Structure 1
Amino acid sequence: MAKLAGPHLFNMLRGSLIGAAEAVPGISGGTVALITGVYEKLIGGAGHLTSAARMAAADLPRGKGGARAAAEARKVDWGVVLPLLVGMAVALVLAAKLIAPLVEEHPQYSYAVFFGLVLASLWVPYSSSGRPWRPIDYLIGLVVAAGGFLLTGLPPSQVPTHPLIVAAAGAVAICALVLPGVSGSFLLLTLGLYEPTIEAVNQRDFGYLSAFALGCLVGLALFVKLLKWLLEHHHHMTLVVMTGLMAGSLRALWPWQDDDRTLLAPSGAVGLTAVLAAVGALVVVVVLVVEIRAQRRRANPPAGRGRHARVPAAPEARTEYARDTSVR
Structure 2
Amino acid sequence: MQQPTRSFSDKLFLVLKGIAMGTANKVPGVSGGVVAYVAGFYEEFIYSFQRLNLNAVKLLLSGKFKSFFEYVNGRFLSLIILGEVLSYFTVSKGFDILIKNYPILVWAAFFGMILGSVYYISRDYDAWTRKNIMILTLGTAIGIATSLLDPATDNANLFFVFFCGMVSISGMTLPGLSGSFILILLGNYVLLLVDSINAFFDTMVAVAQWDFSWWNDPAHMELMTILGVFLLGSLAGLITLSHLLGWTFKHYRNETNAMIIGFITGSLGVVWPWKKEIFSTNEAGELLRDAKGNEILENYSRYWPDFTTGHTWIAIGLVIIGFLIVYLIDTYGQQANPT
Q: TM-score, normalised by structure 1?
A: 0.80
CA distance in 1, matches of 2:41, 2:312: 34
Residue of 193, 197, 202 corresponding to 1:201: 197
Residue 120 (structure 1) shift: 0.5
Q: Which residue of 1 aligns with 2:305?
A: 266
Residues 23-47 of structure 1 show CA distances to partners (whole Å, capped at 9, x for unaligned) of: 1111100000111111111100000
Residues 62-89 of structure 1 show CA distances to partners (whole Å, capped at 9, x for unaligned) of: xxx477x975753333332221111111
Residue of 80, 88, 92 corresponding to 2:84: 88
Mapped contact 1:128–1:239 kept (Cα < 8 A): no
1:175 maps onto 2:170 in alignment: yes
Q: Which residue of 2 aligns with 1:287?
A: 329
Q: Which residue of 1 aligns with 2:32?
A: 29
CA distance in 1, matches of 2:92, 2:68: 34
Q: Which residue of 2 aligns with 1:158?
A: 153
AA in 1 matched with 2:116: A
Residue 51 (structure 1) shift: 4.4
The alignment partner of 1:261 has SS state of strand
Residue of 243, 247, 250 corresponding to 2:261: 243
Instruction: Please provide the CA RMSD for this pair.
Output: 2.3
Q: Which residue of 2 aligns with 1:38?
A: 41
The alignment partner of 1:27 has SS state of coil
Residues 117-153 of structure 1 show CA distances to partners (whole Å, capped at 9, x for unaligned) of: 0011013442454x33123322321232122101121
Q: Which residue of 2 aligns with 1:315?
A: none
Identity, in percent, stands at 28
Q: Which residue of 2 aligns with 1:215?
A: 233
CA distance in 2, matches of 1:102, 1:51: 43
Q: Which residue of 2 aligns with 1:276?
A: 318
Consecutive unaligned residues of structure 1, counting only runs of 5 or more, are 300-328
CA distance in 1, matches of 2:67, 2:255: 31
CA distance in 1, matches of 2:124, 2:69: 28
Mapped contact 2:103–2:273 kept (Cα < 8 A): yes
AA in 2 matched with 1:165: F
CA distance in 2, matches of 1:226, 1:54: 19
Mapped contact 2:69–2:75 kept (Cα < 8 A): no
Residues 252-307 of structure 1 show CA distances to partners (whole Å, capped at 9, x for unaligned) of: 011122324333111352211111111111110111111111113xx8xxxxxxxx
AA in 2 matched with 1:45: S
The alignment partner of 1:254 has SS state of coil
Q: Which residue of 1 aligns with 2:51?
A: 48
